[in-house]
Amino acid sequence: MQVKINIDGGSRGNPGPGAAAYVICDKSGKILSQEGYFIAHCTNNQAEYTALKLALIKCAELKATELFIEGDSLLLIKQFTGEYKIKNPDLQARMQVIRKLAEPFTIHIKHVLREFNKAPDALANKAMDAKESLGFNPIKYLPEDDELLNTSPKDNVVNGVEVAPVKRAKKPTKSTAKKHPQQPSLFD
């Protein structure tokens, strides 16, 4: 399923209270989901990154396959595409989560001017005004970042063969070690 997504984020005070917002529509323009996610303390960039992360989580819920994403943060778009380096460690960690979430999708992402991104901007501002998240068909379950990054398999199968942890014998202590004769030195 193809969807169009508009994302935006903002912070009052930068850093300060903020919100991340996304609006997801089908090909005909019908709104499938929209959410303004309130963040008690963040920067503008953190809010923009969070908007993209939330949109990707919701797209997985919707079982979308091809995403046409628009946002007014040139920095986020260029950093997502790899045109700009991410120097801030916090944003690097956030992008790692975003890239993991983006793996199953075909993504088309582009920068748009603010005047073409009014819906998520309005939603982010409403969430900041209300000091709470709000929306239509919001994310049902919002996982933590470490849960999203967990790449260990759910079972112990490697190359189609079940493996078990290796159990090693405990190192003998002085009291439990058997006395072995001293090895004669070859150089005496």
Helix pair angle (118-130, 44-62), 10° resolution: 110
Q: What average pLDDT does the segment 166-183 reach?
A: 62
> What local confidence, expressed as pLDDT, does residue 148 receive?
84
Question: In the chain, what are the helix, strand and coil shares in percent, each to the nearest 5?
Answer: 35, 25, 40
Distance CA 149, CA 103 (A): 12
Radius of gyration of the chain (CA): 25
| pLDDT, tens digit, 9 for 90 and up, residues 80-133 | 999 999 999 999 999 999 999 999 999 999 999 999 999 999 999 999 999 999
Percentage of the chain exceeding pLDDT 90: 74
Percentage of the chain exceeding pLDDT 70: 80
Specify the amino acid at residue 37.
Y
CATH code for the domain defined by 2-149: 3.30.420.10
| pLDDT, tens digit, 9 for 90 and up, residues 29-83 | 999 999 999 999 999 999 999 999 999 999 999 999 999 999 999 999 999 999 9
Q: Which residues pair with 8 in a beta bridge?
A: 21
| Model confidence, pTM | 0.79
Identify the helix (H) or strand (E) that includes residue 67: strand 66-71
Q: How far is CA 65 from CA 59, 68, 104, 158, in A?
A: 8, 10, 7, 28
The better pLDDT of the pair 134, 167 is held by 134
